[in-house]
Structure formats: structure tokens, C-alpha cells
Amino acid sequence: MKLWFKSGGWASKKARQIVGTLAPQDIKTVAVIRHAAVGDMVLTRPFLIELRRFFPNAKITLSLTTNYTRGAPEDLVDDVHVVYGNDQRGHSLKEQIARAKELGPQDLLFDLAATTRSFWLCKLTPAKLKIGFPYHLAQRYLYYDVTVSRSDMRFEAENMLEMLNILGHATQYPPLFDMPVQPTQRLRPYIVYFPSASTSIKCWPHSHFAELVKQMAERYPEHDHIVLQGIAEWESIDEIMAAQNGRENAIGMKLDDFDATVSLMKGAALLVGNDTGIRNIAIACETPTVGIFFATDPFRYWPRYHHHEAAFTPDGQVPSVEQVFELASKVMDAG
């Protein structure tokens, strides 16, 4: 292998000396650190698919934390390593270090997290090359041998693939997610609206969602318009549904099962939602999306391929119902 970059990447002196002695077919062990919630977790799938293509003889181990295992792409790896997360604070430092060291020596170590916990795991795991995409330049000298630039202006699934590009792998575009799920079968085609998010500050007003669903239900009467409720008490959709005045093709739904939620996303004609994991799941299911952004940056979670749109304003104000309606109609009419 060789390092393929002129700018946008960095490599230590050690990496420049070692990389030429390595060949993809000779790599036997690869560890991937991904400590993230379900929305970020599903974006890891293209990286793992390409990792398998590039290193066909390697045993791939995915390192997770105990509090973030939901949606982990275990179908794409050979082994799973789990360190103690924030839900396991009762363990001593000695126990935490012992658990981290269970990952063992690796030929290659990829850090797709860049968190304090993943930094320690990098330090405690011997590897021929350690590769990451840290936010701060100083971190590359402390924890890695090779890095690529990390930017909130780039779709994160593609940004992760650059860690393989720098080693000479020609990754597929658009990224391949290959979600192992069958779509929900309903009598009528359907659009899903998800008005919740991880925090209320990221949520588009329910009054806006209520008006959007009304307009979309009138524009696309042959579709069911499913408003999906979150699992927390504050995520009620009562206001949105009350505004529909009993419209037959406006349906409220709550799903507590992860697989059923993914299946619902896979079968949808469109997902309209805030900056949330549900939208990332829809993207991974190759379902068209309209994301609504005002409290967070849109570009990190906005794939610029297929039928995905992002509603935001240059000054960061809350997007209007009219803007979101136009984008949703654009995606629907594009087929």
C-alpha cells in the first residue's frame, strides 16, 4: 500500500515507513472503534462494507460501548468488543482498562469516534497503523499514525470512507449501506413524518408539522401520512394529530421495536424529520428524506445524491412550512 494524498491528510514518520511494507491481502486483523448512538451507528455500514472489500482476509472487530449498541452493524463484522460506557460508571479504572485491553493487538485500528474513551482505547491497543479523523490537529500527533480531515461540511459516511481512500482503496459511490431489512407492507403507499429528536431544541414546531401533514395529505391523497411518535413522554404527537380533524389518510403511530421502525423506514416513499437518528436510518435504507435543520448544521448529515433534501435558512432561522412542503413535493414528484 501507499499513502494517497497531497493535502487533506496527515501521516506520521512511522506511517510513511510502515505503509509500504503492508499489502491489503496480508492484513489479518482490523479493529473499528465506533462509539455512537443509533443514527451515527448506521452511517458506519458503508465503511465496514468497503473495509471487507479492501482487506478480504482480515478478521474485523467492531468496538462498541455498553450504552451504544442499538443498531450496531454486527452483520458486517466477525467479532464485537464492548467497553464500559456511561451506563457502567461503577467499574473501577482497573476494570475499565482490562476491558479495553481485551480488544488485543491489531494490524490496523480505525477510530470512527474521536471521543475521550476512543482516544484511551487507541492508546491501550497495539497496532501497526492507527487511523482516525479527529476534530483537532493536536490529537493526530497524540493518538494516530494516519488521519484525514474531518469536516462538518461533509456527509459523515463519506468522510469515514476517506480513511480507506488515503490507503489506496477505490470506494463505491454512492455509498452502499445494504441494510438487512424487509420493507413494511401496507395496502397503500405511505410517507412518514418524525417530529421528535434527541433533544427538544432540534425539533421543528409541532404546529408546523401539523400544517405540513395537512398540506401533504391533500397534495398526495393516495398515500397514507404516518406521524411517528417518539418513545419519551414529551414526544407526544397529540397536537399534530388533533389538527388533522380525523382525516382518514393521516395516521398516528408509535413503535417501540427497533426492527419494526427500520422496516417502516425502508418501505416509506419519503421520510420528513428533524436532525435525528430516524432520518439517518431512512438514509441507510435508501429512502428519500427531507431533513429540517436550524439548531444544528445540515451538511454533516446531508447526502448529496439520490433524493435527499435539507430545509434550512442561511441565517439559521426555523424553516417555514412552505419551504419544507416545496422540498417534500420536489422529492415526491421526482419519483
State percent of the chain over pLDDT 90: 94
Please write the tens of the pLDDT for every residue from 264-320.
999 999 999 999 999 999 999 999 999 999 999 999 999 999 899 999 999 999 999
pLDDT for 176 equals 96
Nearest-angstrom CA–CA distance, 293 and 310: 7
Please write the tens of the pLDDT for every residue from 155-195.
999 999 999 999 999 999 999 999 999 999 999 999 999 99
Mean pLDDT of the chain: 96
pLDDT for 192 equals 98
Over residues 138-150, the mean pLDDT reads 95
Q: Can you count the helices (H) and strands (E) in the chain?
A: 12, 13
Which of 209, 276, 260 has its CA nearest to residue 236? Answer: 209
**Residue 282, number of CB atoms within 10 A of its CB:** 28
Q: How far is CA 277 from CA 40, 103, 158, 161, 261, in A?
A: 7, 28, 17, 20, 11
**Residue 334, number of CB atoms within 10 A of its CB:** 10
Is 72 within 8 Å of 103 (Cβ atoms)?
A: no
Please write the tens of the pLDDT for every residue from 306-318.
899 999 999 999 9
**Residue 7, number of CB atoms within 10 A of its CB:** 6
pLDDT for 231 equals 86
pTM of the model: 0.95
For residue 335, pLDDT over 80 is answered with: no
State percent of the chain over pLDDT 70: 100
pLDDT for 330 equals 97
- Residue ranges of domains in the chain, CATH in brackets: 9-165 (3.40.50.2000), 190-333 (3.40.50.2000)
What is the C-alpha radius of gyration for the chain, rounded to an integer number of angstroms? Answer: 21
Nearest-angstrom CA–CA distance, 43 and 60: 17
Please write the tens of the pLDDT for every residue from 19-49.
999 999 999 999 999 999 999 999 999 999 9
DSSP-assigned letter for residue 68: B
Q: Cα 40–44–48 angle (5° rounding)?
A: 170
Q: Cα 237–287–226 angle (5° rounding)?
A: 25
Nearest-angstrom CA–CA distance, 179 and 43: 11
Nearest-angstrom CA–CA distance, 186 and 142: 53
For residue 8, pLDDT over 80 is answered with: yes
The dihedral through the CA atoms of 152, 122, 38, 148 has a sign that is positive
Please write the tens of the pLDDT for every residue from 195-254.
999 899 999 999 999 999 999 999 999 999 999 999 888 999 999 999 999 899 999 999
Nearest-angstrom CA–CA distance, 333 and 91: 54
pLDDT for 129 equals 98
Phi, psi (degrees; rounded to nearest 5) at 290: -125, 115
